[in-house]
């Protein structure tokens, strides 16, 4: 089975959903809208629902509003598409059971994902942002922070307008996380790379978040630009002139 754009592609996603529903959910999930979305850039897939609220009663979901959309911006093979679809179906499963919380990290969601990984043998991601994919997007200029953590190297993408406005606060703000021990070092890079288009961009200084990436992705990012900041034990360097700030 192959995945195509347009109507035929949507029909293939429909078949995929039905097959996975039968195999891993016992056909317990309802028939929902499943389609490609050419405008979805910041996620590989998305599960959505609407609900009604009543005074003194639990919210009631609108079954007809349940849908899964898959982005056309990521060049996934068939098995990886299945893995992302199963991730989104885990959300649908919890929605149907009345769980309208933020699912990621909850025992119910983690348990479902672990079951799907074991039963399917697929690399079903706990979080989409950690899923390895090959974006079709062309390389774009932008700024990233490579964050060395206890769990690996993370990536945060910053929009150019944000950096130009906040880079002085950004450098001191990032370095303030080092004493926590969870973040060991941070490198700020100006690059030209597809990740600038495909990753969610940071828009505030309220908190820090990142996606863990592979060493191959780190190497690819570093080869596409130059370092303009470095923070860590006995390291405190910025080169704002070279970065064009």
Cα torsion 16, 19, 25, 29: sign:
positive
Start-end of CATH 1.20.120 domains in the chain: 6-130
Domain 6-130 sits in CATH 1.10.287 = no
CA dihedral 151, 153, 156, 157 (to 10 degrees): -160
Place of tokens 């070279």: 242
E-strand spans in 87-200? 140-149, 152-158, 183-193
Q: DSSP state, 135?
A: B
Dihedral sign from CA coordinates of 20, 21, 27, 33: negative
Task: Name residue, tokens 């769990």.
Answer: 151
DSSP states of 209-239: --EEE-HHHHHHHHHTEEEEEEEETTEEEE-
Q: Does the pTM exceed 0.75?
A: no
- Each residue's pLDDT, cut to its tens digit, for the chain (245 residues) gives 344 444 445 558 888 999 999 999 999 999 999 988 877 777 788 888 887 776 766 777 788 889 999 888 776 778 888 999 999 999 999 988 888 778 888 888 999 999 999 999 988 888 765 565 555 667 788 899 999 988 889 899 988 888 888 888 888 888 888 887 788 899 999 998 888 877 777 777 877 878 888 888 899 899 999 999 898 888 888 887 766 77
98: left (phi over 0), alpha (psi -120 to 50) or beta: left
Tokens of 45: 């897939």
């Amino acid at each position: 089975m192959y995945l195509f754009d347009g109507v035929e592609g949507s029909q293939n996603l429909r078949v995929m959903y039905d097959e996975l529903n039968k195999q891993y959910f016992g056909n317990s999930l309802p028939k929902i809208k499943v389609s490609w979305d050419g405008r979805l850039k910041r996620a590989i897939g998305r599960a959505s629902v609407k609900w009604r609220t009543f005074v003194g009663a639990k919210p009631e979901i609108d079954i007809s509003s349940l849908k899964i959309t898959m982005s056309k911006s990521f060049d996934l093979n068939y098995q990886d598409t299945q893995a992302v679809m199963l991730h989104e179906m885990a959300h649908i499963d919890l929605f149907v059971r009345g769980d309208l919380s933020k699912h990621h990290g909850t025992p119910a969601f983690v348990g479902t994902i672990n079951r799907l990984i074991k039963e399917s043998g697929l690399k079903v991601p706990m979080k989409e942002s950690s899923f390895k994919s090959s974006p079709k997007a062309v390389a774009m200029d932008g700024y990233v922070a490579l964050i060395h953590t206890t769990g690996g190297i993370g990536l945060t993408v910053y929009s150019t307008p944000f950096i130009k406005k906040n880079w002085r606060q950004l450098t001191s703000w990032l370095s303030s996380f080092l004493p926590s021990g969870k973040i060991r070092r941070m490198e700020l890079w100006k690059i030209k790379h597809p990740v600038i288009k495909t990753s969610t961009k940071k828009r505030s200084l309220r908190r820090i978040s990142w996606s863990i990436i592979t060493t191959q992705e780190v190497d690819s990012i570093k080869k596409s630009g130059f370092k303009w900041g470095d923070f860590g034990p006995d390291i405190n360097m910025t080169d704002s002139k070279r970065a064009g700030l």
